[in-house]
A and B are shown apart, each in its own frame.
Chain A
Amino acid sequence: MDLYLPIAEMPMNVFLLLGMGAAVGFLSGMFGVGGGFLLTPLLIFSGISPAVAVASVSSQIVANSASGVLAYLRKKTVDLKLGLYLTLSGIIGSTLGVWVYGVLRGLGQLDVVIALCYVAFLGTIGVLMAVEAVRAIIAKRRGTPLPVRRPGQHGWIAGLPLRIRFHRSRLYISALPVIALGASIGFLGALLGIGGGFIMVPALIYLLRVPTTIVIGTTLLQTLGTMAFTTFMQSTMNETVDVILGLALMVGGVVGAQFGARVGQSLRGETLRLLLGLLVLSVGLRFAVDLVAMPEELYSISRMGGG
């Protein structure tokens, strides 16, 4: 059954859309990430223009993170103050991202920048996660405990000026890295159509030393705020959000996420991180191959001024 997407101006099979939403939702529920980094490329590969894909996925991420935030709020594992700081700086980054997006589209270099960013970020994060998970698995097999991080230990990053106390996370750290982190995730989110959870979660754990229990809920809160704003910005500045496309992805996504979360809880943490690392890495590799391999068609056409 085909569904005509009014903003994308093309029909797409509704079951394909629901299926893609559900598959990505399943993975995102399992790993606790938004899944935008999988969904946006999937849509682009299936023929939707990058402009509409990136903008519409942001609305799907809003739905996904909204249901996640509610669950974590009930469990009281969200640092509202930290989330607010990250969201506000994320909004600044997002504004910049939407603007850069429009400029690159006009120059015809949007696709290559998106691909390069995917390779850089997914490659780095994927390798880091996989290596860390393999280490943890080996350490567990040998029975040697990994060095435990104490919450009081901060790196030089936390010691920068403008220190703020985040009670819920039991942190007293500089606001500068928090703002920088939020802004760069917001920027990347708008530019690449990703929630950025897969960057935010390790950054909060390893750079800011936020307790692991608080990390996911707080990240989801930041994702919700930033992506709601991004959806609004993409609607007003680029007019490329397809609400019908977004809705089909949302419905598939939120259902898939529930089942993914159940599977995720039955897997061990290290195994989960290793799988996620490999998944992230393989998407990055796919983009790298496309960049390096000789394209079948060297030419492309687009409407002047984007689209």
Chain B
Amino acid sequence: MIRALLLAATLALVPSLPRAETLVTALSTERVSIESNFTGSGVVIFGTIERDQQTVSRGAPYEIVVTLTGPLRSMVARRKERVAGIWINRAARDLSRVPSFLAIATTAPMADVAGNPVRAKQGLGFDMLPTRGLPDALPPVRTEFDAAFFRLMQDKGLFSLDESSVEFLSPQLFRAPIALPANVPIGWYTATVYLFSGGVLLAETTQDFSILKGGFEQAITNLAHQRPALYGLATVVVACFTGWLAGVAFRKD
């Protein structure tokens, strides 16, 4: 009790504690709409590092890491093996709740921004992203299936890492453009901005935005998934009609 009082008194005597920086971030768009002519798009994440007189001065420069994470999905990675002369899928490994899209943009190489223990805790970076469960204090154990998953996702353009694309416009203001490829998955996305200095995580913000299909595309998707019988019938009718029309149009007699 006395100790607590002493502590409180000490705290009260200190005029004001050094305060950490605060991050304020914004997205260039809150909703990307996929129309029939969609061939990819982009989103820009803007941010500013706010500090006041009480903020401690840092010896190391500010480093920014921006991640854009797509809807989480459970995936299966499979490996082909030769059986009786032909190559078939044999061994398989489940990857639980991994992002369907992940773009990472930074101001400097990831290893220089923060050490492994810090990044492991956040699940930050391709080498630290958990493929089974939640982020842990220890870096996740990687199998060749995980390696294949990251390689294939990068080949498809769904995972990307750019260690120089975050640009400081002023000592406090930065921007991070992120490209969305044509095959970008539909759903809710989370943009997370991390502020590091000297390998220490100072602040973090998250922001959501959605990638949705446009009116016509969405109407078709809704019909296909919500009224599949009607959709199937309509498709058959359209097909028969197209065939009939062609028959009439090209009729020779």
Contacts and interface: CB of A to CB of B under 8 A. Distances in A.
Interface string A207-223: 00000000000000000
A266 to B, nearest CB: 14
Interface residues on B, range: 35 or more
Nearest to A243: B235
Contacts of B242: 63, 66, 247, 250-251, 254
Main secondary structure of the interface of A (DSSP, over half): helix
Contact of B236 (A2, A62, A294): A62
A303 B75 contact: yes
Interface string A236-262: 100101011011001100110110000
B85 A243 contact: no
A128 interface: no
Contacts of B238: 59, 243, 246-247, 250
Contacts of A300: 77-78, 80, 89, 152
A177 interface: no
Nearest to A73: B247
B30 interface: no
B244 to A, nearest CB: 6
A232 B236 contact: yes
Contact of B92 (A108, A116, A251): A108
Contact of B76 (A235, A297, A304): A304
Interface string B40-73: 0000000000000000000000000000000001
A281 B193 CA distance: 56
Interface residues on A, range: 35 or more
B78 A232 contact: no
B148 interface: yes
B240 A228 contact: yes
15 contacts: A2-B37, A9-B185, A63-B246, A66-B243, A108-B78, A231-B239, A235-B231, A255-B246, A295-B80, A298-B148, A299-B77, A299-B149, A304-B74, A304-B75, A304-B94
Interface of A: 1-4, 6-7, 9-11, 59-60, 62-68, 70-71, 108-109, 111-112, 116, 228, 231-236, 239, 241, 243-244, 246-247, 250-251, 254-255, 257-258, 291-295, 297-304
